[in-house]
């Protein structure tokens, strides 16, 4: 339906999924008119799920006018389709929406498999609709500021990129089983769930400086083989990784190290990235997302920059300097950029093409672990 709306018409939104990501994106949609007056007008039209009672409650809380239990009834009836379902539901609904000319924002990773990601990439290329993947950490103001430093040459020639994403919600071996622990549904564990963010963020920050990945080695590990099913109290097998690591060679000669874990005790949501170059370095942690540590020029050590000034990316839309932002605001920025691209007929990044390239890296890590050797890309 992307060709049926003028720039003055509100965009109708259909949303598959109403739990964690459904709440995050619905919250973002509700905040847009207040803080981004130039954002497109949006009508929260239909929310999709299986449990009718829970769905009705979500529609009421999130401000949706209608509910549906089958995404097929929705994808060609709205202007924008948010695919926030489990990973195994990313491919078919997104492809169907794009074939109907409906714009799509899909959560990460793009698909549970490389073949599925390729199908989604090709559907986006064949459609006039806007297709974006929801890598929300690109939209942290400090990350935007960091990219400006890298692009501006402040760090010189990049030599090393280090990215880690550590969580501890599965550190307890008695933590309950969820769909994220099933390979058929999720595709992979920590690798796809949080590693996808890390590979995308590294590409966003330094991709133009270091080029493509030439080869990598990967290691996956599952520490708890079974977990209790909260519905049956029976043990269910865990068929995905709890943690991963990867070593990366870039075309430029730069090297990268990547690490992710969902069993790292003491880390709630620690997504950290460090970039080192011949003229300087930067360090960032999501757990201190308003700060960027910068070392450039003749400085002997790092300076902590509070990215909360009016001139900093996105911050002018929010509160006075020093009034910090949080995790939820990344979704507001992401939705603003995506919906503006839809309204104006522009492009959105990260696109399905970019998300497919991330999926290639995830697939290569898995293949490397299976073979016990470096994999050429």
Indicate whether 6 pLDDT > 70. no
β-strand 42-48 against 11-16: which pairing, if any? parallel
- Helix and strand tally (H, E) in the chain? 10, 17
pLDDT one-digit tens code per residue, 316-338: 999 998 899 999 999 999 999 99
Mean pLDDT for the chain overall = 96
Strands, DSSP E only, in the chain? 11-16, 42-48, 66-68, 80-83, 103-107, 131-134, 158-166, 213-221, 226-228, 235-237, 243-250, 255-261, 270-277, 280-285, 291-296, 303-306, 375-376
What residue spans define the domains of the chain?
A: 11-136, 141-288+290-325+347-376
Among 123, 1, 151, 17, smallest CA distance to 71 is for 17
Mean pLDDT calculated for residue range 294-309? 93
Confidence of residue 1 (pLDDT cuts 50, 70, 90): low
SS3 for 249-305, per residue? EECCCCEEEEEEECCCCCCCCEEEEEEEECCEEEEEEHHHCCEEEEEECCCCCCEEE
Among 212, 213, 217, 201, smallest CA distance to 163 is for 201
pLDDT in the model for residue 356:
98
CATH architecture of 141-288+290-325+347-376: 2-Layer Sandwich (3.30)
β-strand 131-134 against 280-285: which pairing, if any? unpaired
What's 11-136's CATH class? alpha beta
% of the chain with per-residue pLDDT over 90:
93
Tell me the angle at which helices 114-126 and 91-99 cross, rounded to the nearest 10 degrees.
10
Indicate whether 358 pLDDT > 70. yes
Mean pLDDT calculated for residue range 173-199? 97
pLDDT in the model for residue 4:
43
pLDDT one-digit tens code per residue, 19-30: 999 999 999 999
Indicate whether 2 pLDDT > 60. no
pLDDT one-digit tens code per residue, 245-273: 999 999 999 999 999 999 999 999 999 99
pLDDT in the model for residue 7:
54
DSSP string, 341-367: HHHHT---SSBHHHHHHHHHHHHHHHH
Indicate whether 38 pLDDT > 70. yes
Name which residue leads in pLDDT, 233 or 61: 61
Indicate whether 367 pLDDT > 70. yes
**Burial grade of 3 (CB within 10 A; 0-12, 13-18, 19 or more):** exposed
Mean pLDDT calculated for residue range 209-238? 96
- Contact between residue 85 and residue 16 where contact means Cβ atoms under 8 Å apart: yes
Cα separation of 65 and 47, whole Å? 8
Model pTM score: 0.95
Indicate whether 5 pLDDT > 60. no
pLDDT in the model for residue 223:
98
Q: How many CA atoms lie within 13 A of 74 on its CB side?
A: 27
Indicate whether 109 pLDDT > 90. yes
Mean pLDDT calculated for residue range 128-147? 97
Mean pLDDT calculated for residue range 88-110? 98
Cα separation of 164 and 167, whole Å? 10
């Amino acid at each position: 339906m992307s060709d049926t709306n003028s720039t003055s018409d509100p965009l109708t939104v259909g949303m598959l999924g109403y739990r964690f990501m459904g709440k995050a994106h619905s919250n973002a949609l509700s905040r847009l008119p207040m803080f981004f007056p130039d954002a497109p007008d949006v009508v929260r039209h239909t929310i999709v799920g299986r449990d009718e009672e829970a769905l009705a409650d979500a529609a009421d809380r999130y401000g949706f006018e209608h509910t549906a239990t089958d995404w097929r009834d929705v994808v060609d009836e709205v202007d924008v389709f948010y695919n926030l379902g489990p990973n195994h539901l990313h491919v078919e609904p997104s492809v169907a929406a794009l074939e109907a000319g409906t714009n799509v924002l899909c959560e990460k990773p793009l698909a549970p498999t490389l073949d599925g990601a390729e199908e989604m990439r090709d559907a986006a290329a064949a459609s006039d609709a806007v297709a974006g993947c929801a890598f929300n950490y690109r939209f942290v103001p400090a990350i935007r500021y960091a990219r400006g430093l890298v692009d501006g040459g402040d760090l010189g020639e990049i030599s090393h990129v280090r990215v880690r994403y550590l969580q501890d919600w599965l550190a307890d071996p008695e933590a309950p089983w969820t769909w994220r622990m099933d390979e058929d549904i999720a595709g992979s564990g920590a690798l796809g769930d949080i590693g996808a963010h890390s590979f995308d963020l590294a590409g966003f920050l330094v991709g133009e400086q270091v080029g493509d990945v030439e080869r990598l080695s990967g290691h996956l590990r599952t520490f708890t083989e079974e977990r209790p099913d909260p519905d049956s109290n029976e043990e269910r097998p865990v068929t995905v990784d709890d943690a991963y690591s990867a070593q990366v060679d870039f075309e430029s000669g730069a090297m990268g190290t990547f690490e992710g874990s969902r069993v790292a005790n003491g880390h709630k949501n620690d997504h950290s990235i460090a970039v080192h170059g011949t003229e300087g370095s930067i360090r960032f942690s999501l757990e201190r997302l308003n700060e960027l540590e910068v070392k450039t020029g003749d400085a002997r050590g790092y300076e902590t920059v509070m990215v909360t000034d009016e001139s900093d990316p996105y911050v002018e839309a929010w509160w006075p300097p020093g009034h910090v932002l949080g995790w939820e605001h990344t979704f507001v920025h992401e939705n603003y950029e995506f919906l503006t691209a839809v309204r104006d007929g522009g492009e959105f990044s990260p696109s399905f093409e970019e998300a497919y390239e991330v999926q290639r890296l995830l697939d290569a890590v898995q293949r490397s672990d299976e073979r016990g050797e470096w994999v050429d890309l």
